[in-house]
Amino acid sequence: MTEEPKDTCDVIGSQKTNPSQDKDLAPYIKIKVLFFARARDLTGSTEICLEMPDGSTARDCMSKLLIEFPNLQEIYNSMVLALNEEYAPESTILKDKDELAIIPPISGG
């Protein structure tokens, strides 16, 4: 499998309410969200792109994900949230092209 270019992954976040052409008025940033383990089952994806208003935090991003994928609530309280492969508190402000990973624990062996 080849690495998917960042701007061609599925964009979640409806284009109607967050029109990208309004970028001049209200700048938007694109966030790549990676799902692991149970988060893959719950969302049916390994990665998606989210359009978020500039200045959004990791928490805002999670809130949006929980609206798109209410099932994610199941793992919301027990997961590792990594921003660009590093631990990040939910209050961290996101930048364009940031990569947010949602990592619930696996327990099998």
Partner 1 sequence: MDSKEIGCGSCGADLLGEIERLRAEKEELESRIHLLEAQIKPGGAAEKDRSGNCSLSSLSCPQMNGATLSGLSPKMIHRYSRHLLLPDFGVEGQLKLSKSSILVVGAGGLGSPVAMYLASCGVGCLGIVDSDIVELNNLHRQIIHTEAYVGQSKVKSAASSCHAINSSVKLVEHREALQAVNALDIVSKYDIVVDATDNLPSRYMISDCCVLLDKPLVSGAALGMEGQLTVYNYNGGPCYRCLFPTPPPSTACQRCSDSGVLGVVPGVIGCLQALEAIKVASAVGEPLSGRMLLFDALSSRTRTVKIRGRSPLCPICGENAAFTRENFQSFDYENFTQSPMSDRSSEKLNLIPESSRITAIPKSMNIPLSNLEDKLSTIDSALKQAAQDSGKCASLFVVCRRGNDSQRAVDYLSKNGFPLAKDIVGGLQSWSQDVDHTFPSY
Instruction: Give me the residues that bind partner 1 (CB under 8 A), please.
Output: 1, 36-38, 46, 74-75, 77-80, 82, 85-87, 101, 103-109
> Is-contact 18 51, C-beta < 8 A?
yes
In the bound state with partner 1, the residue whose beta carbon lies nearer, of 13 and 104, is 104
In the bound state with partner 1, the residue whose beta carbon lies nearer, of 3 and 24, is 3
Q: Cα 88–81–37 angle (5° rounding)? A: 160
Q: How far is the CB of 28 from partner 1 (least distance, A)?
A: 26
Q: How far is the CB of 26 from partner 1 (least distance, A)?
A: 31
In the bound state with partner 1, the residue whose beta carbon lies nearer, of 53 and 105, is 105
Q: How far is the CB of 63 from partner 1 (least distance, A)?
A: 19
Q: How far is the CB of 46 from partner 1 (least distance, A)?
A: 8
In the bound state with partner 1, the residue whose beta carbon lies nearer, of 51 and 92, is 92
DSSP readout, 44-85? S-SEEEEEEETT-BHHHHHHHHHHH-GGGHHHHTS-EEEETT
| CA atoms of 67 and 49, how far apart (whole Å) | 15
Burial of 11 (0-12, 13-18, 19+ CB in 10 A): middle
